[in-house]
A and B are shown apart, each in its own frame.
Chain A
């Protein structure tokens, strides 16, 4: 998880991906090669029931890696552009953009029903949660304070 500062009046929260996109492919190819080599050996020896279990395992691994890969570019951001507060939420094929009027926006840090602390941004009856996936409690508190500074009316 990475939180960029408010340089240029934009704050971005995104996961820290230490594996490159091609790394995902190589990781899968590596595991697939090892597992399939072993499986083919045992199937040829007559133990064909190893195959469905190995196949299931590879499918689960593929699903998990694909899921992580597809969410490689996920982010949430808050931008202060002139009199607007723009919140963007990108999660694989889903892009949401909310624009609030800077002078009326409310930033609230409060507990949700599951007991975690969340940042809510909104105005005029519309409210969205920010950073629920990438940032933890301490970061949410510091981001809320930072927003308070940035939203000060000059």
Chain B
């Protein structure tokens, strides 16, 4: 499995973690110093004494008002920063694709190209407008893209916008369901395991998590197909609907989504699980928890209200950095389960050096990563009172 971006450092005590989350490689230093941006209005607290904020270990029932202004400003700053990032990333993509050993003409011609004459191949090259330096092609693409014209996908013989709109919904559904599933399961199992580190459940869960982490998703996928579709016959082996029918019904969709989403969730689960387990186990040994216990609070309140709350902080960081991993995983899963999402288009676009499609997909993936980071930072600011959105 490939990992995009630097991995977050292993969780230690959350108390030692400095402000914002680690950033992924897709987010460059844009040169804007967040500190330099003045507070837009007088409501921004100038006094950052923690006393003004609710205590870190406040009981979960007490919510403070959400800092909308701070969150909006952070989002705005990130949006602005995304512009040069996207320009850079697409530039890099065009450069990489130009350096790729794959020849778009051969890829376009496919097996037919194996018996084509030189004249036909030359004609194709001229028609596909593949001459000229990649910088020129990038600029052309960019100037069209800002007007909303994403161009035509050469390899799929379709406009790029159509390729994406046809598929993205299915991919988003799969990723979202899997992500939520992994998050919930990871938290649940992580807390359960952390309650008694070294216990039977902990050893069992941790062991399985390591095995799952090591198992390639497509292998898990094949195994799931074998078990649920072939041996037990309870779930369909692939596709969006029964192979013989065309209409997508809610029930049918759920049944077809179950396996791919479960497998994708399983591939994401170990990280969340292990981080939650570590975070909660560490927190359980800390003073606030001891204090809470000493005050006679119920085990439930201590575990969920105190230990989990601080133990979840590193997990929030993971939310953002796991997005690229999720996309890579979805790529394999979609292939195994014939899921009509964006993954197969990505593979095709990459091997066929289909510039316009590749560029659009790269932008999408970059946006997903940036959005994941933003979400992580927003949540982090909400969850940890020591962190201020203004400072990110």
Q: Do A and B come from one complex?
A: no
Q: Which residues of A contact B (CB under 8 A)?
A: none
